Structure 1
Amino acid sequence: EEYGALDEAARVRVLSRELATPRLLYSPYVQYSAETAKELAIFREAAKIQEQFGVDAIRQSIISNCASVSDVLALALIGKETGLIRLDEAGRPVSRLNLVPLFETIADLQGAAGVMDALFAQPWYRELLRSRGDVQEVMLGYSDSNKDGGYFTSQWELYQAEQRLVASFAAAGVKLQLFHGRGGSVGRGGGPSFEAIMAQPAGSVAGRIRITEQGEVISSKFADPDIGAGHLEALVAATLEATLTEHQVDAADGAVFDELSRDAFAAYRALVESDGFMDYFLAATPINEIAKLNIGSRPASRKSLASIKDLRAIPWVFSWSQSRVMLPGWYGVGSAVAAYLARHGEAGLERLQRLYRASPFFQVVLSNMEQVLAKADLTIARRYASLVADGALAEALLARIEDEWQKTQNAFYAITGQGKLLEANAALARSLETRLPYLNALNLLQVELLRRLRAAPDDAGEVLTATHLT
């Protein structure tokens, strides 16, 4: 079959047929493409590492952008081809790896439980899970869902995906282990770990949780042994407490969050899909200069930078942080709350205030957003906007960002009752008071260096180095 041309049902049928037989597709007498050879070599090397150091040396293979049953079965087939999955004498699969689907976009989060239900209905795959102790790990993507749907929608869709997965796994009799792909910054799912774990829905933290620690926060969390031990203690304490806490958003509260999410999503997509937005983003942030930094494991984009869909989530968030807009950590919330209050009036505000007091999910969403708002500076962002050649475009888009910024601050104060940002977080307020003057100076220096760099791109040497140092 021409696999790429098949629909999903046909792909599942073909993969199931191939997985059920010990015969390999690979032939040493066939010349394969460089990409095929490279991918097979990676998995063969993984099998060698397991043979040399034991199966615990490599325990999972993660499928990025997983959207279907065939994505998981295709990975299983590669595992079978390279010896990581074998068939026993009875023809049952025995896997030396956890196959971990990573659901990243808003659409994929919404479809995650459906994919897992269909996967559990595959007899071959259920046999494979039995060889792994009937435990299935699922990874949730915070960075890409944020880039796709904006801050609030990402947070709410992640929460709902977890609720649906808990129900799906319970019905199938499979143990769920969630792997949270959280980043260091709020736009990538960061924020205080204890509160984040405590805000997880009931059943999603059943005595264990897996969380990424991103490179940029490892030194601050683990370089000092006492701080590292304290951080691990907080994670263990939160995991124990969350396991024993039956926290769930009920249907009535969920309807409120649905309403907020719809309007937040609409506001966010209206901005990022507006005419000239990518031109603004490329000029008003140092994204192209970040792409030339010798850090990180991946390029800034998957292909050309025609839309934010092509851009990787990490440089997307990093760029907005550099320009001090911090857009992925708040944009859309102000419009959502304003629309909700326009429909529901004073009773709507009282409902949101009650939710803030009662819902750990809503508390964490607003608390993390508050930290981002405190670190942002739209006066400095205006300096970055001056780098955009089209002054009218820059002014129009910056005006939209500033309008949303004001709406978001107004919404935060109205819901929380606070009179200023970080009113209840004196430690962070003191820390920012100390740090921001240094960061502000670096930002202003960076804008000037970017201006020089773009004026003479062919003579970039020292100016590019200086820009990278900022």
Structure 2
Amino acid sequence: MLRKPKIQRFNDSVLSKYQIYNSIFLTLPFDEISNTGSFLPLFSEICEKGYEKNQDPTTIVDEFFKKFFSDISEEEKISYLFRFIQYIERQVVLFDAIEDASFSVVNNMNGHGTLRSIKEEAQAINKLGDLKEHLKHFSIRPVLTAHPTQFYPGPVLGIITDLSDAIERNDLTEIKKLLAQLGKTPFFKKEKPTPFDEAVSLIWYLENVFYQASSKIFTYIQNNIFREEELENDVVKLGFWPGGDRDGNPFVTPEITLNVADRLKTSVLKNYYKDIRKLKRRITFDGADKIIKELEQSLYENVFISSKKHTLDKDYFLAKLKEIKAILTERHQSLFVEEISDLINKVKLFGFHFATLDIRQDSRVHHSVLLGIVNDTHKHNLGIFPENYESLSDEEQIDVLTKVSGKIDPEIISDEMAKRTLQSIYAMQEIQKTNGEVGCNRYIISNNQTIINVLEAFAMIRLTGWEKPSADVTPLFETVDDLQRAKSVMETLYTNPIYKEHLERRNNVQPIMLGFSDGTKDGGYLMANWSIYKAKAELTEISRKYGIKVIFFDGRGGPPARGGGKTHQFYASLGPEIENEEVQLTIQGQTISSNFGTVDSCQYNLEQLLSSGIMNEIFTKDQNIISPEDKETMEELAEVSYKTYSDFKDHPKFVPYLEHMSTLKYYAKTNIGSRPSKRGKSDKLIFSDLRAIPFVGSWSQLKQNVPGFFGVGTALKHFEDKGEFDKVQKLYHNSLFFKTLLENSMMSLTKSFFKLTAYMKDDEEYGAFWTLIHDEYELSKKLLLKLTGYSELMEDTRSQKASIKVREDIVLPLLTIQQFALKKVQDFHKNKNVDEALIQVYEKMVTRSLFGNINASRNSA
């Protein structure tokens, strides 16, 4: 039987079910309120028709109450709007659950980009041997971060999981119960989570999703590609940031780091314990039964008895499992060998660490910390640094930092940040003893600008008595300027004799992180992505020159403006001039639950990541070389776009517009993340202090999505005006990289809706600025359609576009309420008619309405 097109599968399995279950949901009363659900569809219709008539949000809200309520007080209006928010954010949850339940139906689990498809393609062109060789060293590492881009508290995530299961079974009774539970479960967090709370929330995904999905992938490769030959390479590695990411988060202490590492180990041992208990019921044979009973007891003690912790060794555990396998093979006709092999594979992948905990701190903090350490070592006459260290030239400081060694007791350090920085390095060593070296072996330096930034961190690591550190010093290059300097920084490092010795001990592997989010915030969409591409090519070239294997780690967010979008297609587009032995990337916020929230979706998306690297190496490597002529075109596009974005960013109304017309300042009130919403302590809003997440999120709340397209239209117009649009068309058809960039930009445009904020064009202070943004939106849309030949945006991904449309329809009333509340607050301040109590109510309305809109954007990645 022919498989239905993807858009039809989406309509049948997702859209139809949503319409049915939403109609049930709207009839359920919450908090003794029985008519909110019946009024919400009417309000939605008023919103839709109102924007068709170019009405503003205030007019739309007023018209709704005028039409359906003859006499209603301000207090009652506010109550209704808050109840609408309550329903809408739960409609988003319902849609999430239905999409999760239908994932394996809508997506072809054996289709393009899956391991089965890759294996069959390789077989068809006699490249199965090449595929096997590539898998001996290629791997992926998704790194889970607690960056606050999702507003679902833990209980709501649990309901999504249970609701998905009930929908998959079509269990209407259970669905109604769960929808009722959903209606009464609060979304708003009264207190900020601690970094440990964030870690516990994400470890749930490791325990319940990645544990199963990763081992399924490993087992498939072992059984179907390697067969009798044992696969030694961990093709799926997991990374983890909560508890180790100290950048801008004063709440991440060394104690938190150690506690998170302990929780990671305990969690993976619990999973092994559950598996061993299941196996014990099957492996009841002479010789094997005693071993499995011994392992069960050891795991129990290491998980549940504090005094027995760390008494079980990973190598011993693995050796005993292999001993059981040998007994089953030799004496019991290989009965239950597959089950024991599955556990062996899991131990290979997850060890006793589960996921590698990265430590990260900002270079500016390191510099201040190091100077504090220098001064304290002088006070205690330790003789580690020369007395005139601060007045030395850069070259002289580099020489000192390279050669420095010793063991400093953190207790002699007077500055608290300096003390904690040293303690975090001691914590790394402690974690390596308990969880294995891979448990914590990477120190990331964010905002890395110079070689001194790298060497300051390297020096501090060695000042903990770690003369030959089993840890990778990893610079993170983020801004356009830093990306351009990256090659020079790394070449200086590679030629430094002592750092060269360190690299030799690390198998001549150098990880380098590249930041998409801050790069886009700094340089605009095209320039950021092109700068990262060029930096990767240059860093690959210089690393190969010195015999170093560079591993790129990409700091990506969910939306295209933060490096998200069609991530898999991006990696598949990289040619041979960019090292691609590992695909490493951050998985943030809603991207975790949307792309990796169930075993099916996690396995599918991990396989897509794996296949992107495989495709690039085995099938399309020589096809993804950008010609010199096309590079010139790309460079010119990036430069024009950069100039356009920079002028826009320097506009005197840019920061005030975000501060006064967007939801930026409300992000700090949502309590969704442990770290502050901006860097620095100044009350005045400074662009450089803005974090990328609230920056991009605020544009998203306005439905303007500026970081994903601004400058693209002007850059394309530049070539059209010169009569050289054919050069851009040639680049588009020749380069999968460029094509992917533009397709992601089209997603940002698709999710924009300027009618929501069209009232701003008449604003005395910000009208011209709003028009500037809208003009670039219209220009970008027009010229992207001309370039692609599409009649509408995202024409090639109809099912994804359909999903976006449903979500946008769901949150349209929510956004209307948000803009209505924002306008109320603005008017109160403008008219000097300050009713503080009422202002607080409307500000709370703005904050609450943030939730559903961000959660509805889960398909941005």
Give the TM-score of the pair, scaled to structure 2: 0.51
Q: Which has the larger radius of gyration?
A: 2
Matched residue SS, 2:669: coil
Q: Within the alignment, does 1:399 sit opposite 2:771 as a pair?
A: yes
Specify whether residues 262 and 13 from structure 1 end up closer, same or farther in structure 2 by C-alpha distance, changes over 3 A only.
Answer: same
> CA separation of 1:227/1:417 partners in 2, compared to 1, >3 Å: closer, same or farther?
same
State the Cα distance separating 1:278 from its structure 2 match: 0.9
Relative to structure 2, which stretch is displaced further, 222-231 or 240-249? 240-249
Alignment correspondent of 2:416: 34
Shift of 1:433: 2.6
Matched position secondary structure for 2:766:
helix
Mapping for residues 47-446 of structure 1, pairs under 5 Å: 47-83=429-465, 85-86=466-467, 94-244=468-618, 245-246=621-622, 247-303=624-680, 304=682, 305-343=684-722, 345=723, 348-383=724-759, 385=760, 391-446=763-818
Q: Give the paired residue count.
A: 451
Aligned-partner SS, 2:703? coil
Deviates more, 1:155-164 or 1:455-464: 455-464
> Secondary structure in 2 aligned to 1:298?
coil
Q: Which amino acid aligns with 1:309?
A: S
Q: C-alpha deviations, 1:318-372, integer Å up to 9, x for none?
A: 11111111000000011111112222x0xx1122112111101110111001111
CA distance in 2, matches of 1:287, 1:3: 42
Give 1:457 deviation, angstroms. 8.3
2: distance between equivalents of 1:411 and 1:396?
23
SS of 1:95's partner is: coil
Q: CA deviation digits over 1:400-426, x for unaligned, max 9?
A: 111111111122012111111122211
The whole-number CA distance in structure 1 between the counterparts of 2:432 and 2:835 is 48
**Whole-Å Cα distance in 1 between the matches of residues 732 and 802 of structure 2?**
25
Per-residue CA deviations over 1:72-93 (Å, capped at 9, x if unaligned) read 111111111224x32xxxxxxx
Q: How far does the alpha carbon of each residue in 1:152-210 deviate from its partner, in whole angstroms, 9 at most, with x for none?
A: 10011111001101101110100011001111111100012220111224243433211
Q: Any conservation in 2 of the 1:280–1:393 contact (CA below 8 Å)? A: no
Residue 4 of structure 1: how far off its partner (Å): 5.1
User: How far apart are 1:453 and its partner, in Å?
Assistant: 4.8
- 2:678·2:689 contact (CA, 8 Å) conserved in 1? yes
Change (3 A) 1:457 1:319: farther
Q: Which amino acid aligns with 2:770?
A: L
Q: Contact between 2:476 and 2:512, CA under 8 Å: does it hold in 1?
A: yes
Distance in 2 between residues matched to 1:225 and 1:39, nearest whole Å: 37
Relative to structure 1, the CA distance from residue 3 to residue 309 in structure 2 (aligned partners, 3 Å threshold; closer, same or farther) is farther
Matches within 5 A, 1:457-468: 458-459=836-837, 462-468=841-847
- In the superposition, relative to structure 1, how do residues 65 and 449 fare at CA in structure 2: closer, same or farther (>3 Å)? same
Q: What amino acid does structure 2 have at the position aligned with 1:421?
A: L
Q: Which amino acid aligns with 2:630?
A: D
User: Is this contact kept in 2: 1:205–1:243, CA < 8 A?
Assistant: no
The one-letter code of the counterpart of 2:845 is A
Distance 1:327 1:457 in 2: 33
Q: Distance in 1 between matches of 2:705 and 2:692?
A: 13
Which piece of structure 1 moves more, 305-314 or 53-62? Answer: 305-314
**Could you tell which deviates more after superposition, 407-416 or 301-310?**
301-310
SS of match in other structure, 2:513: strand
| Pair 99,287 (structure 1): closer, same or farther in 2 beyond 3 Å | same
Q: Which residue of 1 aligns with 2:822?
A: 450
User: What letter is aligned with 1:356?
Assistant: Y
Letter in 2 for 1:209: V
CA shift at 1:225, angstroms?
A: 0.8
TM superposition shift of 1:465:
4.1
Distance 2:411 2:606 in 1: 51
Cα 1:135/1:297, change in 2 over 3 Å: farther
Residues of 2 paired with 1:265 and 1:121: CA distance?
Answer: 33
Please tell me whether the aligned partners of residues 199 and 360 of structure 1 are also in contact (alpha carbons under 8 angstroms).
yes
Q: CA deviation at 1:462?
A: 5.0
CA separation in 2, counterparts of 1:6 and 1:379? 58
Measured in 1, the distance between the counterparts of 2:556 and 2:738 equals 18
Specify the SS of the correspondent of 2:449: coil
Structure number with the bigger relative contact order (C-alpha 8 A, sep ≥ 6) is 2
Distance in 1 separating the partners of 2:835 and 2:738: 46
Q: Which amino acid aligns with 2:716?
A: V
* 1:200-232 deviation digits (Å, cap 9, x = unpaired): 242434332111111221011122111111111
Tell me, in whole angstroms, the C-alpha distance in 1 between the residues paired with 2:410 and 2:550: 39
Asked if structure 2 preserves the Cα contact closer than 8 Å seen for 1:205 and 1:242, the reply is: no
Number of the residue aligned with 2:169: none
Measure the CA separation in 2 of the matches of 1:363 and 1:423.
Answer: 14
Change (3 A) 1:38 1:355: same
Give, in whole Å, the separation in 2 of the partners of 1:190 and 1:215: 12
CA–CA distance in structure 1, aligned partners of residues 636 and 390 of structure 2:
38
Change (3 A) 1:172 1:143: same
User: Do the aligned partners of 2:626 and 2:734 also contact (CA within 8 Å) in 1?
Assistant: no
Deviation at 1:293, TM superposition (A): 1.8
Task: Give the distance between the partners of 2:391 and 2:687, measured in 1 at CA.
Answer: 27
Q: What secondary structure is seen at the aligned counterpart in 2 of 1:393?
A: coil
- Match for 1:366: what amino acid? L
CA contact (8 A) 2:664 2:694 kept: yes
Q: Quick one: structure 1 residues 213 and 5, their matched pair in 2 at CA, closer, same or farther if it must change by over 3 Å?
A: farther
Change (3 A) 1:277 1:207: closer
* TM value normalised by structure 1: 0.91
In the alignment, structure 2 segments of 5+ residues that lack a partner are: 1-386, 829-833, 850-861
CA–CA distance in 2 between the matches of 1:298 and 1:187?
Answer: 21
CA distance in 2, matches of 1:206, 1:291: 38
Q: 2:727 and 2:549 mapped to 1: Cα distance?
A: 36
The 1:329–1:288 alpha-carbon spacing in structure 2 relative to 1, beyond 3 Å, is same
Whichever residue aligns with residue 365 of structure 1, its letter is: L
Cα 1:155–1:4 change in 2 (3 A) is: farther
Provide closer, same or farther for how the CA distance between residues 140 and 457 of structure 1 changes in structure 2, counting only shifts above 3 A: farther
| More displaced stretch, 45-54 vs 120-129 | 45-54
Shift of 1:450: 2.7
Residues 47, 82 of structure 1: 8 Å contact kept: no
Answer yes or no: is the 8 Å Cα contact 1:334–1:409 preserved in 2.
yes
